[in-house]
A = this chain, B = another copy of it.
Amino acid sequence: MKLSDLSTPAALVDIERMERNILRMQSRMNSLGVNFRPHVKTSKCVEVTQAQIKAGARGITVSTLKEAEQFFAAGITDILYAVGITANKFPQALALLRKGCDLKILTDSVQSAAAISAFGIANDIRFKVMIEIDTDDHRSGIKPDSPQLLEVAQVLAAGGAELYGVMTHAGSSYDLNTPDALEKMAEQERSGCVRAAERLREAGFQCPVVSVGSTPTALSARSLEGVTEVRAGVYVFFDLVMHNVGVCTTDDIALSVLTTVIGHQEEKGWVIVDAGWMAMSRDRGTQKQTTDFGYGQVCAADGAPLAGYMMTGANQEHGIISRHGEPDLAIATRFPVGTQLRLLPNHACATAAQFPEYQALTAQQNLQTWPRFYGW
């Protein structure tokens, strides 16, 4: 099986790039002296995750209980479900624990902590629970200095749950684009989470794990003093958003969409391809960044970027490719019907999610099919 034999659109993974990305992150984490727990929501793929574990990752982070179930079935037991849990998901979590999964769950409120404790008591199970800390005003979590932090810990302790630690995610790092700002955000993420752990310990609670992370902060932190583990997801593939944030080059982007030219509108300088938003996703993450790549950067079939050519429009199964600035009126000659192109995505997590499988390309240009899963 070769690239030219593939039905398009197809999600290609460049294995060499992926392994380089994995090594880069793991080496950093090793030198900073922390465990690394990759977020597998990006790939939802056992083969990718096994490569991360082989390189030294310890445990995984998941964004859905379906991911937990699938990766547990593949033999991975140390799993952090890093989205606040509610009562309707307790039975699924309980079933995983009863099968032997070392699942950790998350809370950021007295209300949900109380529900976890009550369910644990009723079912004779001791949940390992992390408290989510908000270190960047971005999404969920308790502020490091909030009185609520100790209240939640108290509720968990009284209910017989195990306080496993604190975790935070500086998602606002995605909005930055200078090394200095990223380093400051990494320090803000670290210090806020460590501060929360210290307050818990001062109040007499055990707080063994201090977990931080996002791809940009993980790649920018100078010190991770007080942190025990880091989580990151998108680094495994990288994407154009991360390129604009400044933590990778286009040559690091390991995920692309293989597409075929199906037509033209010559006088407009348009190529029509068989990858629309169903293949690329509707993610326009680079729209507000310094370089807007439309729905993706166009590359030749061998992966070489074609400067200035972008997917500028997307319908469900049609993409429109054109040159930035002046239209390329010779575009139909340049890319005749049947030409294969590769498209680098704005956001790897979103683009990968559109495909039931990856076509993983070895250094020898051989293809392997790696399934991925979706849904909840």
Chain A interface (Cβ within 8 Å of chain B)?
A: 6-10, 41, 63-64, 83-89, 92, 108-109, 111-112, 115, 134, 139-140, 171, 260-265, 272, 274, 277-279, 281-284, 313, 315-318, 320, 336-338, 347, 349-350, 353-357, 374-376
Contact = CB atoms under 8 A, between A and B. Distances in A.
13 contacts: A6-B88, A7-B92, A10-B376, A41-B317, A83-B274, A88-B338, A112-B262, A139-B315, A139-B318, A140-B262, A140-B263, A356-B374, A357-B375
A351 B241 CA distance: 22
Instruction: Kindly name the residue among A9, A139, A336, A376 whose own CB sees the greatest number of chain B CB atoms within 10 A.
Output: A376
Nearest to A5: B88
Contact of A337 (B112, B139, B375): B112
Contacts of A140: 262-263, 265, 272, 318
Contact of A272 (B64, B84, B317, B318): B84
B7 A109 contact: no
Given A281-B282, A374-B356, A376-B9, A86 B274 contact: yes
Given A108-B263, A265-B140, A63 B354 contact: no
A355 B64 CA distance: 13
A355 B88 CA distance: 19
In the A-B complex, the 10 residue pairs with the smallest Cβ-Cβ separation, listed nearest first, are A282-B282, A356-B375, A84-B262, A282-B283, A63-B317, A111-B337, A84-B263, A83-B317, A140-B263, A140-B272
Nearest to A114: B337
Contacts of A263: 84, 108-109, 112, 140
Contacts of A272: 84, 139-140
Given A89-B7, A112-B263, A375 B349 contact: no
A32 to B, nearest CB: 25
A350 B277 contact: yes
User: How would you classify the secondary structure of chain A's contact residues: helix, strand, loop or mixed?
Assistant: loop
A285 to B, nearest CB: 8
A331 to B, nearest CB: 13
Contact of A315 (B84, B92, B171, B317): B171
A41 B316 contact: yes
Given A139-B315, A277-B350, A86 B338 contact: yes
Contacts of A374: 354, 356, 374
B139 A316 contact: no
A8 B88 CA distance: 8
Contacts of A375: 355-357
A353 B282 CA distance: 11
Contacts of A8: 88, 376
B350 A353 contact: no
Contacts of A109: 263-264, 337
Nearest to A9: B376
Nearest to A280: B282
Given A86-B274, A272-B84, A272-B139, A7 B376 contact: yes
A169 B72 CA distance: 46
A68 to B, nearest CB: 12
A320 B264 CA distance: 40
Given A7-B88, A86-B337, A356-B374, 15 more contacts: A83-B262, A83-B318, A84-B263, A84-B274, A109-B337, A112-B337, A139-B313, A140-B262, A140-B265, A279-B376, A281-B282, A353-B354, A354-B374, A356-B375, A374-B374
Contacts of A264: 109
A196 to B, nearest CB: 16
